[in-house]
Amino acid sequence: MENISDATKQFVDLRRHMWMAGVETELRRLIWQIAVTGKYISAKIHESNRKLAGFENIYGEEQLALDRSSDQILQSQLEYSGFVREYASEEQPDIIQIGDGDEQYSVTADPLDGSSLVDTNLAIGTIIGIYRGPLAQVGENDIVAAMYITYGPLITMVYSAGKGTHEFVLNREGEYVLSEENIILKDKGSIYSLGGLRKDWLPEHLEYIEFLETEGYKLRYSGGFVPDINQIMIKRGGVFTYPAVKGAEKGKLRLIFELKPMAFLIEQAGGRATNGTVDILKIKPESLDQRSPIYIGSKYEIEKAREFLSKKE
């Protein structure tokens, strides 16, 4: 699909863009429905009183009421889509059967990434992965689309259905309107986002970060995966990493809910994503809660990460 001119962008909404890009009909309708669901989650955020729900999720993390309600909104909307066979969420212990079992797609969600940032009024988001077939059989190339929605000063949605990565902004009429088409990262960026405590970093990771510091990279870290990846995407380069750390050698972020969708979006924008040795999209999940270290961003930074991580004995 050729780039749409700036003068035309204000007239191109999400549905028209996907149709022009040749996204297949059922996938197009599913992406649009999830994008609309983001508007309902945004409304719930705006009426939030910031209070905790008084529960823990399946990983022992304290849940905000917003976490639970966002998950419920997503699940409810997908039940009526007619295109989804299974739904899996960070807030649920098991895969949930949505359809009759012969539908094409399964959906994973981090319904409200960064929800602990709500009380400080920082940007948060929703992460979605769309897979072909049942989730228990997800392999290397089964993710067919991904998207994230950022709830900040603007509500934006970045999606890919394997035909580039594109950003839309929710306008005051309630339509997602094309903002940035075919986002392409520069081969080398200038910002880095660093998860984990420095005292817990492993030697080869510390050496990598010190290398970036000598090259003058600027630290940009919010504590939320969505806003940090969005910054790399919109600034056209850089690196986000949450590495293996002492006591958590498998990392913190979850492969199927967070890492594979973001890796798909970044790679469609010309970037890379690795656990340090293996591409994230090539890792076959062994469980719903599988975690992985992550280095994601521009080609240069990810290749340098591979160089430093390969020194590990």
Its CATH class, for the domain covering 8-180, is alpha beta
Q: Mean of the pLDDT values across residues 98-112?
A: 92
- For 155-178, give the DSSP string: EEEEEESSS--EEEEE-TTS-EEE
Most confident of 47-56, 75-84, 246-255: 246-255
CB-based burial, 242-263: b 16+ in 10 Å, e otherwise: bbbbeeeeebbbbbbbbbbbbb
CB 309 within 8 A of CB 294: no
Q: Give this prediction's pTM.
A: 0.92
Question: Residue 29: which pLDDT band, with cuts at 50, 70 and 90?
Answer: very high
Other C-beta atoms lying within 10 Å of the C-beta of residue 212: 22
Do 8-180 and 191-309 fold alike per CATH?
A: no
Torsion of CA 81, 82, 84, 88, to 10 degrees: 50
Domain ranges (residues) in the chain: 8-180, 191-309
**What average pLDDT is seen over the chain?**
90
Higher pLDDT, 291 or 60: 291
Other C-beta atoms lying within 10 Å of the C-beta of residue 68: 18
pLDDT at 217: 97
How far apart, in whole angstroms, are the C-alpha atoms of residue 225 and residue 261? 12
Q: Mean of the pLDDT values across residues 7-18?
A: 80
Instruction: Report pLDDT digits (tens) over 246-277.
Output: 999 999 999 999 999 999 999 999 999 999 99
Instruction: Report pLDDT digits (tens) over 166-203.
Output: 999 999 999 999 999 999 999 999 999 999 999 999 99
CB 133 within 8 A of CB 143: no
Question: Residue 52: which pLDDT band, with cuts at 50, 70 and 90?
Answer: very low
How far apart, in whole angstroms, are the C-alpha atoms of residue 50 and residue 116? 9
CB 106 within 8 A of CB 134: yes
**Is 191-309 a CATH 3.40.190.80 domain?**
yes
Q: How many CA atoms lie within 13 A of 76 on its CB side?
A: 11
